[in-house]
Structure 1
Amino acid sequence: MRLFFLINVSCLLLYVNAQAQSPPSVQIPPTDSIKTWMKQFNVSALGIGTIEQGKLKRVMVLGELKAGVAAPYNTIFDVASLTKSVTTQLTLRLVSEGKWSLDEPLYKYWVDPDVKNDPRHKQLTTRHILSHQSGFVNWRWMHKTKKLTFDFAPGTKVGYSGEGFHYLMRALEKKFKKSFQTLCDQYIFQPYKMADSHLTWRKGVDENRFAIGHNQAGKPYKLEKNQKASAADDLLTTIEDFGRFGVNVLAQKGVSQDAFREMVRPQGKVKPGVAFGLGWIVFDNLPNGEYALFNAGGDKGVAAVIVLLPKSKRGLIIMANSEQRAIVMKMIVKSLDVGRTIMSRF
């Protein structure tokens, strides 16, 4: 009897210990609450995906594409700067195969005509670009000269830049003699089974499933069909596709341990607990020893975010066809145990 009792106690302790070590679930708020927020913030379509134990656990899409037309499970969203995460993963796969270097100067493959007479172009590397230390402003049209310009030497400061990612795209295309779309198809979309993901409005994009962007008042913008691939912006994708992408990032599919380590290592400090890794914002020193990989997209009629927690293999993806980012922040705070800490650092 005593032996039986001890065995039962031991089993109970093992179960309790296992439960204590299990990370909290990604808790999506009740559907009624989400619908209330959508109405409050004039969001017509919202997609949510969760990753747990390294697997895509849930995909949910709420709202309408237009009056009387429900947004389907496979609604296509423009996710703006989440495109940069795809560019990063592509680049790190090439690095892992020994076909590309993070620290080789890019001038060997591409020099933008605007900076050809600035000697600093010979310093620029992939690492500088992915960690947002290129020296460029976000877009050249934002610069007072209206040209691509080095505002500081690469690697000396942090400055968010989409232009940097475009520069990297040109270098990759020159080196491999392939279009950026072809490279993404080969290394990301096909192996990760992202059949509904496109960099342009090419053949195969189903307009009837696209969530047209809306302004803050809830009025739709005119649909603009981008015909040029961008390494920084305007990826078209679904919650399920980008959830698969997140799963593959966490699984390090096609990415070496060394490359992954460089990706998650804080390389460009923004503020305490917040830094740019390679292609991701890294939030470290989170509760329960977690750290987060974060990327957000915000354009006209677009709000999107992905949060990955590599230690516990969890993730959250949110996409909205609205400029109302408040609903995205609410979802992060309510769904993740580390969400409030992440949001407090902005």
Structure 2
Amino acid sequence: MRAAVQHRYGPPSVLASSEVGIPSPGRGDVLVQVGAAAVHPGDYFVMTGEPYVVRLVFGLRRPRHGIPGRDLAGVVAAVGKDVTALRPGDEVFGWSTAGTLAEYACVPADNLVPVPANVSVVHAAAVATSALTALQALRKIANVQPGQTVLVTGASGGVGSFAVQIAKALGAEVTGVCSTRNVELVRSLGADHVVDYTETDFTRAEQRYDVILDNVEAQPLAAVRRALTPTGTLIPNSGHGGRWIGPIGRIITARVRSGFTRQHLKPFTSVEERQDLLTLADLLATGQVTPVIDRTYPLDDAADALRHVAAGHTRGKVVITV
């Protein structure tokens, strides 16, 4: 099969289109013929091996899995002996830790759910990581309730575009922060209010929010907290932090400061949960959530797709078609 393969950490040029063997599913696995696979900043970090902390998980000297990618959608080609809920021919979406930028990928059956009939394979591929992050941040971490005010920074990006829609589905009054060129996009996602950060600094405005999902880190934590209500919740879903520890430094800072204020500072890491993936499938099926696709690339241009992601300012998701 054809796949995007890397043998060392580095920039997108380390990726090469190569022929490799088709993997064999284990007892609880599903072999998926990949139709599309989304890429996001996390894939770029794993490819480059920076911040260096990612190497503790993905391989110290070189990537443990030579094929990058995590999110996918496609058709079940074969199933392991213990798999009963899926069968060949089913259209599915979800995530895999074994690499998805390939014609086939082996995926644990619990990491997959059926694609709703009204959703294309490209749109389904865009969902898993970014939409799960938005859903868990808003519903599980912030416990957003109807009528609460929610502000989403980076509202036109991968996580942000899902977060605006999910917050609306939860009944919140939503404000999205984005650049001028994305104001109409964010408004079309259902945002009640849109702040153009090139004209207005939301941290210095009078409005206070019950929940802020900060996907950008354009402002220090102390500044963002000014826009919170006295008992509001701030979820910092970003952080640069240099080549060694990346966002971990901001996470530690947020946790320490949370102990000295009535405000809730809650950095988190999304967890792969099948029930949340099923919830997202329902939101897709009912039209409450629609993935925003920035660009699509063919598999042979996977390096260009990751360059585009690394440049920042994507509108929604970048998807590779196979």
Task: Say which structure is richer in strand.
Answer: 2
Higher relative contact order (CA 8 A, sep 6+): 1
TM-score by length of 1: 0.28
Question: Which one has a larger percent helix, Structure 1 or Structure 2?
Answer: 1
Q: Please, what TM-score do these two structures have when normalized by structure 2?
A: 0.30
* Higher Rg of the two aligned structures: 1
